């Protein structure tokens, strides 16, 4: 999107504001499916926790996507957006058995990542097909907050516990119809991904009635200059070749599934905030915006470096700034960052604000969550309203004290 278009949206809808470009989402979806076009049955399940607005869900549904969900409420939102239960997979961790039952009753594919739950579920519902989530113990990337396949991770059934899984299957006569892995959000190296895939293939051989293999996600998108981006096209070529060979060996056509979040929506998102104050101190120049980690927590939570542009003065001379929020805590978006000269009231644009940004927003400091706009066909469409004071108090009960 052009700085001018974004600036117009900030004027029209106010700040802070989230803007999502529909074309980018469609483009990323098509890029992924094109990379795996030689696979007969490909299934993309959008990991909706990245960005769960129902218009975004509908847009991805129109592209042909299914949904990957992690809570009963996400399943409900998916159904509300028009997905049928057969297009949804439920991949929770640490939820109650009752929640899994509730979702299974809707006809949604269940993915189980714990032996005791598997045994309990198989005993009670031997006729309901189940996918198992394995942990291949492959470390993806270096950030342990987002690596979920390593040995200490709480996710998945250890690959070393497959003999126990087989025993449960035999004892309960349950039907395992899929095998799944999700190694984390930081696949820097395709070879590492392919290595984990081999472990999945090995495990898959031991189950005779599979319908699908789910390789999760972990596709990396660049946030700052010099960041590695997962080469989807190369991954597509290499994994397709290996998958087709496996199908032959297995003797049955299988569906190849993925569940990307970030890859589909991260680059489509722009976060716009207005500069309240420019403050020169002894050590730096602060640019303080009308937002904070209540609206965009990734820089503080993961150390993510979102690119920042001054769209009010895109051609201005660059200077060094520390961009901070208005929360009464340290909430630094960027340290010592080159940005085109900033004046008070300028609008700053944060890139890569589609995934895990609005969906992680809170009301800390009793601030309203921002509005969200979808940019489609050259127009901004409001897809969620800015909160109001009513939203802050709607669940509160005033007790006479």
CA distance linking residue 93 with residue 182, whole number of Å? 12
| Nearer residue to ligand PLP within complex by CB, 36 or 219 | 219
Segment 69-108, which members bind ligand PLP (CB under 6 A)? 70, 91
Q: How far is the CB of 50 from ligand PLP (least distance, A)?
A: 5
| Nearer residue to ligand PLP within complex by CB, 301 or 320 | 301
The answer to whether residue 349 is catalytic is no
| Nearer residue to ligand PLP within complex by CB, 47 or 357 | 47
* Part of the chain binding ligand PLP (CB under 6 A), chosen from 57-65, 71-79, 256-264, 277-285: 256-264
Contacting ligand PLP (CB under 6 A), which of 90, 219, 246, 321? 219
Contacting ligand PLP (CB under 6 A), which of 43, 61, 175, 182? 182
Could you tell me which residues are beta bridge partners of residue 376?
379
Q: Is the peptide bond before 16 cis (omega within 30 degrees of 0)?
A: yes
Contacting ligand PLP (CB under 6 A), which of 136, 261, 288, 380? 261
Task: Write out the two tokens for 212.
Answer: 């699908």
* Part of the chain binding ligand PLP (CB under 6 A), chosen from 13-21, 102-110, 255-263, 379-387: 255-263
Does residue 68 touch ligand PLP according to CB under 6 A? yes
* Part of the chain binding ligand PLP (CB under 6 A), chosen from 98-106, 257-265, 315-323, 327-335: 257-265
Contacting ligand PLP (CB under 6 A), which of 185, 291, 294, 310? 185
Q: How far is the CB of 214 from ligand PLP (least distance, A)?
A: 9
CA distance linking residue 213 with residue 126, whole number of Å? 21
Contacting ligand PLP (CB under 6 A), which of 15, 52, 217, 294? 217
Cβ contacts of 230-238, under 8 Å, gap ≥ 24: 230/187, 230/188, 230/190, 230/193, 230/263, 231/190, 232/31, 232/32, 232/35, 232/263, 233/31, 233/35, 234/190, 235/35, 235/190, 235/193, 235/194, 236/34, 236/35, 236/36, 236/37, 237/35, 238/190, 238/194
* Part of the chain binding ligand PLP (CB under 6 A), chosen from 99-107, 210-218, 307-315, 388-396: 210-218
Instruction: State the DSSP string of 60-91.
Output: HHHHT-EEEESSHHHHHHHHHTT--GGGEEE-
Does residue 131 touch ligand PLP according to CB under 6 A? no
Q: How many helices (H) and strands (E) does the chain have?
A: 12, 18
* Part of the chain binding ligand PLP (CB under 6 A), chosen from 28-36, 160-168, 216-224, 338-346: 216-224
Q: How far is the CB of 182 from ligand PLP (least distance, A)?
A: 4
| Nearer residue to ligand PLP within complex by CB, 83 or 286 | 83
Does residue 230 touch ligand PLP according to CB under 6 A? no
How many angstroms from the chain centroid is the CA of residue 86? 21
Does residue 259 touch ligand PLP according to CB under 6 A? yes
Residue 18 Cα distances to 281, 346, 355, angstroms: 30, 16, 11
Binding track, positions 349-388, relative to ligand PLP; x by CB under 6 A: ------x---------------------------------
Does residue 141 touch ligand PLP according to CB under 6 A? no
Does residue 49 touch ligand PLP according to CB under 6 A? yes
CA distance linking residue 190 with residue 209, whole number of Å? 28
CA distance linking residue 67 with residue 343, whole number of Å? 43
Q: Report the phi/psi class of residue 222: left, alpha or beta, with left for phi > 0 and alpha for psi in -120 to 50.
A: beta
CA distance linking residue 241 with residue 251, whole number of Å? 16
Q: How far is the CB of 258 from ligand PLP (least distance, A)?
A: 8
- Dihedrals phi, psi of 378, to nearest 5 degrees: 70, 20
Q: Give the distance between the most distant pair of CA atoms in the chain.
A: 72
# residues contacting ligand PLP (CB under 6 A): 18
Residue 108 Cα distances to 23, 24, 28, 50, 68, angstroms: 29, 29, 26, 20, 10
* Part of the chain binding ligand PLP (CB under 6 A), chosen from 165-173, 217-225, 246-254, 269-277: 217-225
Instruction: State the DSSP string of 22-50.
Output: HHHHHHHHHHHHHHTTT-SSEEEEEEGGG
Selection from 108, 113, 145 nearest residue 129 by Cα: 108
Does residue 114 touch ligand PLP according to CB under 6 A? no
Footprint of ligand PLP on this chain (CB under 6 A)? 47, 49-50, 68, 70, 91, 182, 185, 216-219, 259-263, 355
Q: Annotated active-site positions, please?
A: 328
């Amino acid at each position: 999107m052009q700085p001018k278009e974004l600036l117009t949206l900030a004027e029209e809808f106010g700040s802070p504001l989230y803007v999502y470009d529909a074309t980018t989402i469609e483009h990323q979806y098509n890029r992924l499916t094109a990379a795996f076009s030689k696979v007969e049955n490909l299934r993309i399940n959008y990991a909706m926790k990245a960005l769960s607005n129902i218009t975004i869900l509908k847009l991805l549904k129109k592209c042909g996507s299914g949904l990957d969900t992690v809570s009963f409420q996400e399943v409900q939102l998916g159904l509300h957006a028009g997905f049928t239960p057969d297009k949804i997979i439920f991949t929770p961790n640490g939820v109650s058995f009752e929640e899994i039952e509730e979702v299974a009753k809707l006809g949604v594919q269940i993915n189980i990542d714990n032996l005791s739950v598997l045994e309990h579920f198989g005993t009670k519902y031997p006729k309901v097909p189940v996918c198992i989530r394995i942990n291949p113990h492959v470390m993806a990337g270096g950030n342990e907050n987002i690596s979920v396949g390593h040995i200490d991770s709480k996710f998945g059934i250890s690959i070393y516990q497959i003999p126990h899984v087989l025993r449960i299957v035999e004892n309960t006569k349950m039907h395992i119809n899929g095998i799944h892995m999700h190694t984390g959000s930081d696949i820097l190296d395709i070879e590492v991904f392919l290595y984990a895939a081999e472990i999945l293939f090995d495990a898959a051989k031991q189950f005779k009635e599979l319908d699908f293999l789910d390789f999760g996600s972990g596709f990396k998108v660049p946030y700052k200059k010099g960041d590695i981006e997962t080469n989807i096209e190369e991954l597509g070529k290499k994994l397709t070749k290996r998958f087709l060979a496996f199908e032959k060996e297995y003797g049955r056509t299988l569906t190849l599934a993925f569940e990307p979040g970030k890859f589909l929506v991260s680059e489509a998102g722009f976060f716009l905030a207005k500069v309240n104050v420019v403050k020169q101190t002894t050590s730096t120049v602060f640019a303080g915006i009308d937002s904070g980690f209540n609206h965009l927590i990734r820089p503080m939570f993961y150390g993510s470096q979102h690119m920042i542009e001054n769209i009010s003065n895109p051609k201005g001379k660059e200077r060094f700034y520390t961009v901070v929020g208005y929360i009464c805590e340290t909430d630094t978006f960027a340290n010592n960052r080159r940005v085109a000269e900033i004046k008070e009231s300028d609008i700053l644009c944060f890139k890569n604000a589609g995934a895990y940004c609005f969906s992680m927003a809170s009301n800390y400091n009793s601030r309203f969550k921002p509005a969200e706009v979808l940019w489609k066909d050259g127009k901004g469409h409001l897809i969620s309203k800015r909160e109001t004071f009513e939203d802050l108090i709607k669940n509160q009960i005033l007790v006479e004290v």
